[in-house]
A and B are shown apart, each in its own frame.
Chain A
Amino acid sequence: MFRLSSLRLAKVLVLAEVAGGKVAPATLSAITAAAQVGPVTALVAGKDAQVVADALAKTKGVEEVLTTAGDHYDHGLPEEYAPLVASAVTTNGYTHVFAGTSAFGKNIIPRAAAKLDALAISEVTAIKDENTFVRQLYAGNAIATVKSADKVKFCTVRGTTFERAAPEGGSGKISEFPAVAASGKAKFVEDKISASDKPDLTTAATVVTGGRGIKNKENFKILEDLASSLHAAVGATRAIVDAGYAPNEMQVGQTGKTVAPNFYLACGVSGAIQHVAGMKDSKVIAVVNTDEDAPFFQIADYGIVEDLFKVVPALTEKINASK
């Protein structure tokens, strides 16, 4: 893919995130990014480590899997993971440490980097060479190419710009890596996970999003009906999450989730820069808004100046009729 700019051989450690007993999609994107730099070792810790290690070993691009046992790794606590990552880097001499851009990766990577006197590079969207990375700033309004002078490069990888590594085609060897004694600095109390039968927002092929134009919580149902006809995930703007019409994990934008689906349908969303930052890399964008001056129309492939309460049910009906 590119020539290594130095003689030192790159070795990448990917911090694997486990979600529901499986490898998280964000980790699979991080593996693809890591494979562009050098041979990939995945590190998985906690109670599901053995099960997930088998899946990781078969994942394309993974040469080695380190498994670490210990209940103190079960809830992704950074106080426990950061010393483990630091220990793996010190013991095995990795030159890079990657993780997906998820709450898990964002929480651990900067702390682990600090342990080794490095500055973590957040949400890398492209890799130029082993020291040079591309990332966005100012809500995606500027794209910077940055070169790191740190000995070990720590990066979180933006999942929407790297394909997920294929689940087959790898033949990594599995070995155990010793746990670091529990620090006990933080205590896990509970997870309050929102149950959803819809596709995951960050990996869905189609996303239907509602903004302020949706007016109240009950009206959200018309978007959900359309989404189920399309097998789409439902997204929301900050305004309607703040208003309590949708849970926070549905927020798309600079401070919420970044999505890049094949099709993004925005209903009653003005298109503020903070929202657009989270979805502008979608392949096809369509916008429904009664305000013809809404900024969203300037980037939409298809737009209609019309009441979403007319458009959304009509689309649902047409889609159901064509099935």
Chain B
Amino acid sequence: MLRSTLLNRLKVVVGVKRVVDYTVKVRVKDNKIQTANSKMSVNPFDEIAIEEAIQLKEKKIATEVIAVTVGNKKAEEVLRTAMALGCDKAIHVLVPDAQAEHVDPLAVAQIFKKLHEELKPDLWILGKQAVDGDYGNAPQILAGLLDVPQGTFASKVEVDGKKVKVTREVDAGHQVVELETPCVIAADLRLNTPRFPKLPNIMKARKKPIDTRDVASLGVDIKPRLTVETVTEPPERKAGVKVKTIDEFYDKLHNEAKVL
């Protein structure tokens, strides 16, 4: 048997969320964000998390990669994408449509904790934030609930046996920390460049089974901790003036705006 398989037999779980595509500018109407006919995609940070997990598998560090999501029936799409990219299995924690839009990061982390107890993975890789809610909380909450170390805003992950060295993007540069498995990693933009799924793999992924669980069966209360009182559009900024010459540009900034 290969030495690496003796040393590293990591089971990796990646969290995947279905969100409004990052290029779509959402509209707010009737105190609600209008997402009805928007294009939906895998949260961009989760694509990076998936890529990292499958790279670990290709390097023979990970033996199994499981994709999990929490969402309504349609969330199945993101698990198919994850499997087309190379994840071995998928678990779909099914939430009724009416509640699906308001599952907060604490509930998601509590669900993941239940799955952790069952799957006993060595590594969780999540995106650092979902581009819809912009919380950036789920990885830290999960690590806290599991009482395991966390490597957030990760731009480099190096696994050596039970130790995981994580380079983190922080305000003034980078910080390197060393964590023991099990641990939770939160992927930042610069961790890797996600690949695109290939057509034959998309076809194969359609046949892979998805283990669907009803959220109620996990015994997690998904009632939101936050009540949304109002949702509004941000105050609009009006287009200003377009000037013709550099002299005019300088003059406006210097004499009118007084910023130069």
Contact = CB atoms under 8 A, between A and B. Distances in A.
4 pairs of A and B residues whose beta carbons are closest in the complex: A114-B144, A301-B240, A263-B259, A110-B140
A27 interface: no
A271 to B, nearest CB: 11
B173 A193 contact: yes
A43 interface: no
A280 B234 contact: yes
A119 B104 contact: yes
Task: Select the residue from B189, B233, B241 with max chain A CB neighbours within 10 A.
Answer: B189
B141 A145 contact: no
Contacts of A122: 134-137
Nearest to B168: A103
A141 interface: yes
23 contacts: A78-B140, A79-B150, A103-B153, A103-B170, A107-B150, A107-B152, A119-B225, A120-B141, A139-B131, A142-B233, A143-B233, A187-B177, A191-B174, A248-B190, A249-B170, A254-B134, A273-B23, A284-B259, A286-B249, A302-B241, A302-B249, A303-B240, A304-B248
Interface residues of B, number: 82
Interface in B231-258: 231-234, 237, 239-246, 248-250, 252-254, 257
B171 interface: yes
Interface residues of A, number: 90
B203 interface: no
Contact of B254 (A139, A202, A322): A322
A122 to B, nearest CB: 5
A185 B177 CA distance: 11
A143 B234 contact: yes
A115 B144 contact: yes
Given A142-B232, A146-B228, 10 more contacts: A19-B171, A82-B144, A109-B140, A121-B226, A138-B33, A143-B231, A146-B226, A288-B249, A298-B239, A304-B243
Interface in A74-98: 75, 77-79, 82
Contacts of B226: 119, 121, 146-149
B42 interface: no
A194 B172 contact: yes
A50 interface: no
A189 B26 contact: no
Interface string B201-230: 000000000000000000000000111111
A51 interface: no
